[in-house]
């Protein structure tokens, strides 16, 4: 059985690459809802409906496990999906879990009361919809106390990355970091709360300074998925990925190839 990885655009390819390196024998199906990207400026209801439709497409393709490699979908839709939409025998996981595990240094299955952690001042960089959902702060509060989170909605960064304009993206990163540090002058850690942002990791690190620990999701999600599949060992296959898009396959393939700097070929979903 294949594992589905979903994103509204191409950012989730950073998660897919990390997962492929960690799990070379697993069959992955990647779906980019390019027709409706970006999700970060949509309403919660829109995000929910689009995410359900995309995940159903992956279920129909043979996936019984789907990773929402999209922070906006994880923030705005996942809880609602888990409360009443996901069919029996299927599983949908988000990308917040491994990040909070790493930040709080406690396993997700640890249901002990929230406790103090070493990091007290955290900067969160995410899309406007993820910031508005406050999902990260809500999940963090279940596991840690006394952590001050300052969120910065990074409008425009995803669009610039998807368009391949990394000069503009870097300029926007510097601007958003500057805006956040005016509110929180000395963050101890920074969360890159969008799967596009690992491509801008160096820009975020440079703007924040070497003393700030930057948490990026791709490798964390890859490790968490490897741990999950070790306990559910029915996903081993040939390691051949498939790439689907709701947009123009040729255009998306060209952008993905530029995005990852290797040939990626998408087909119509």
Catalytically active residues are 70, 194
Question: How is the beta sheet containing 28-32 ordered, strand by strand?
Answer: 91-93, 63-68, 2-7, 28-32, 242-245, 267-268
Burial of 4 (0-12, 13-18, 19+ CB in 10 A): buried
Contact present, 24 and 239 (Cβ < 8 Å): yes
- 3-class SS of residue 264: coil
> ω before 70 within 30° of 0 (cis)?
no
CA–CA dist 61, 78 (Å, integer): 20
| DSSP symbol at 118 | S
Contact present, 44 and 129 (Cβ < 8 Å): yes
Closest CA to 267 of 247, 241, 244: 244
Q: What is the CA radius of gyration of the chain?
A: 18
Burial of 145 (0-12, 13-18, 19+ CB in 10 A): exposed
Tokens representing residue 183 in the block = 């509110």
């Amino acid at each position: 059985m294949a594992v589905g990885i979903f994103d509204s655009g191409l950012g989730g390819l950073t998660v897919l690459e990390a997962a492929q390196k960690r799990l070379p024998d697993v069959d992955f199906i990647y779906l980019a809802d390019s027709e409706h990207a970006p999700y970060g400026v949509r309403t919660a209801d829109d995000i929910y409906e689009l995410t359900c439709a995309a995940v159903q497409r992956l279920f129909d393709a043979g996936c019984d496990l789907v990773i929402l490699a999209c922070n906006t979908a994880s923030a705005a839709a996942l809880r609602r999906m888990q409360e009443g939409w996901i069919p029996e025998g299927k599983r949908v996981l988000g990308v917040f879990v491994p990040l909070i595990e790493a930040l709080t240094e406690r396993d997700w299955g640890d249901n002990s009361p929230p406790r103090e952690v070493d990091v007290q001042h955290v900067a969160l960089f995410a899309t406007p919809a993820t910031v508005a959902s406050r999902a990260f702060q809500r999940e963090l509060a279940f596991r840690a106390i006394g952590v001050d989170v300052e969120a910065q909605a990074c409008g425009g960064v995803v669009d610039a990355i998807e368009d391949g304009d990394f000069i503009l993206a870097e300029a926007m990163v510097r601007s958003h970091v500057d805006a956040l540090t005016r509110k929180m002058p000395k963050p101890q850690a920074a969360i890159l709360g969008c799967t596009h942002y690992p491509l801008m990791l160096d820009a975020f690190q440079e703007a924040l300074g070497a003393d700030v620990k930057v948490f990026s999701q791709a490798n964390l999600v890859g490790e968490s998925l490897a741990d999950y599949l070790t306990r559910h060992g029915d996903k081993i296959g040939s390691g051949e990925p498939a790439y689907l898009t709701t947009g123009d396959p040729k255009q998306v393939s060209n952008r993905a190839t530029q995005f990852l700097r290797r040939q990626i070929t998408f087909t119509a979903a």
